[in-house]
Amino acid sequence: MIAQKSHKGLSYRKKKELKGWIFVSLFLLGFLVYYLPVLIDAVRYSFSDLDVTGKQLLVTFVGGEHYHYAFMVHPDFLKTLVTSIGQLGGEIGAILIFSLFLATVLNQKMPGRAFFRMIFFIPVVMATGVVEKYEVSNILMEQMENTAEMGSTAASGALFDAEAFLATMGIIDPNIVEMLSSLSEGIYGIVQKSGVQLIIFLAGLQSISPSIYEVAKIEGASGWEIFWKITFPMLMPMIFVNTMYTIIDSFTRSSNAVVELITEIGFQNSNLEASTAMSLVYSLVVLAVLGIVAGVFTMINRRQGVER
């Protein structure tokens, strides 16, 4: 009551507005004091030389030198950028299709559903950070996947590497062998990266009212028709969110080739400025990709709207 008196001058609407600002104030503070300055600094540093050894930071403006280095001098940056975008395109599609399929399966009633859900959410919790980083170079696991990789280095000569064996015998085109083995590795990676998407699709599937399906069944629609005419359109918002999330996640995870290169240049080669320039270029690429994808989705939505 006392609090209300002190605000007497403000209208109800104004008060509500003020309360809204109070709730978001922590975020706003962080944005104004930390995020925005840091973002501006990133642009500034990419055009400068830095000295971070002393008590005071020294910044000298040098123009577009670091961008020149990134594109013209550095041997791998441009190549890595282009190849990784191509690779990610395929991977992102695979993750989306896989997680949608798995979500529809896990949404069905069956024995052991709770158990399977528990298992499939494990990667959400586990497959990041240090685990993800060191899993990539995990020799022992490879060894367990395809027997006897170690044979070539160890004493026992009787063992052989199946992949190399098939290739040298000329039974199968080495390209196909390589493709098959990368595919099996790929499936593993896709399962590990589909956790959050699976959650979002599952939540979406559960929000579709069962009565819609009942009506469709009574009208005689097949499972195939039901999926494409009901489930798929109803999931469109989730597909959009998931596509965006998958793009962001794939482009920014620390095992991404470009990210690894940028981190390496920044912290191992201590070329902070070039690293910043490269990561700015990279962010612009990511933003452009997201923009294009968002544009495509709005176009599809609009076209669907016209059809209806």
Partner 1 sequence: MNGNQTITSAGAKRKPLLSGRKAEMLRSPTFWGGIGWKIFRFVLLLGLTYMILLPFFSKIASAFMSQSDLYDSMVKFIPRNPTLENILFVFDYVNYPEGFLNSLWFSTACALLGVLSACLTGYGLAAFKFRGRGILFALVVLTMVIPPQTIQISSFIKFKYFDILGIIQLLTGSPLALNNSPLPMILLALTGFGIKNGLYIFIMRQFFTTLPAELSEAAEVDGASTARTFFQIILPTARPLGMTIFLLAFSWQWLDIYYAATFYPQFNFLATSVGKIANSMTDSFGQLYDHSAKQSMIINTNLLLIILPLMVLYLVAQKQFIQGVERSGIVG
Residues 95-154 binding partner 1 (CB under 8 A) are: 102, 105-106, 108, 110, 112, 114, 116-126, 128-131, 133-135, 137-141, 143-145, 147-148, 150-151, 153-154
Identity of the residue, 207 or 301, whose beta carbon is nearer to partner 1 in the bound complex:
207
Can you tell me the distance from the alpha carbon of 105 to that of 63, in angstroms, rounded to the nearest whole number?
A: 55
Identity of the residue, 78 or 236, whose beta carbon is nearer to partner 1 in the bound complex:
236
Establish if 45 lies at the interface with partner 1 (CB under 8 A). Answer: yes
Task: State the minimum distance, in angstroms, from the CB of residue 164 to partner 1.
Answer: 16
Identity of the residue, 78 or 159, whose beta carbon is nearer to partner 1 in the bound complex:
159
Identity of the residue, 27 or 232, whose beta carbon is nearer to partner 1 in the bound complex:
27
Establish if 72 lies at the interface with partner 1 (CB under 8 A). Answer: no
Can you tell me the distance from the alpha carbon of 291 to that of 78, in angstroms, rounded to the nearest whole number?
A: 21
Answer for which of 55, 219, 268, 308 binds partner 1 (CB under 8 A) is 55
Can you tell me the distance from the alpha carbon of 87 to that of 192, in angstroms, rounded to the nearest whole number?
A: 17
Element (H, E) at 48: strand 48-51
* Contacting partner 1 within 25-44 (CB under 8 A): 26-31, 33-35, 37-39, 41-42
Establish if 259 lies at the interface with partner 1 (CB under 8 A). Answer: yes
In the chain the first and final C-alpha atoms are separated, in Å, by: 53
Answer for which of 94, 159, 226, 257 binds partner 1 (CB under 8 A) is 159
Residue 143 has, within 13 A of its CA and on its CB side, a CA count of: 12
Can you tell me the distance from the alpha carbon of 299 to that of 88, in angstroms, rounded to the nearest whole number?
A: 23
* Contacting partner 1 within 227-246 (CB under 8 A): 237-238, 241
Per the listing, tokens 């209300």 go with: 4
Identity of the residue, 170 or 278, whose beta carbon is nearer to partner 1 in the bound complex:
278
Identity of the residue, 3 or 169, whose beta carbon is nearer to partner 1 in the bound complex:
3
Q: 59: which strand partners? A: 50
Q: Binding string, 272-301, against partner 1, x = CB under 8 A?
A: x--xx--xx-xx--xx--x-----------
Identity of the residue, 78 or 253, whose beta carbon is nearer to partner 1 in the bound complex:
253
Identity of the residue, 12 or 307, whose beta carbon is nearer to partner 1 in the bound complex:
12
For 8, 91, 115, 186, 191, the CA distances from 196, given in Å and listed in that order, are 47, 15, 17, 18, 11
For 4, 134, 136, 143, 297, the CA distances from 127, given in Å and listed in that order, are 50, 10, 11, 20, 29
Establish if 77 lies at the interface with partner 1 (CB under 8 A). Answer: no
For 80, 199, 242, 269, the CA distances from 204, given in Å and listed in that order, are 36, 9, 11, 46
Task: State the minimum distance, in angstroms, from the CB of residue 93 to partner 1.
Answer: 19
Task: State the minimum distance, in angstroms, from the CB of residue 287 to partner 1.
Answer: 7
Task: State the minimum distance, in angstroms, from the CB of residue 134 to partner 1.
Answer: 6
* Contacting partner 1 within 180-219 (CB under 8 A): 187-188, 191-192, 199-200, 202-204, 206-207
Can you tell me the distance from the alpha carbon of 203 to that of 182, in angstroms, rounded to the nearest whole number?
A: 32
Can you tell me the distance from the alpha carbon of 191 to that of 211, in angstroms, rounded to the nearest whole number?
A: 32
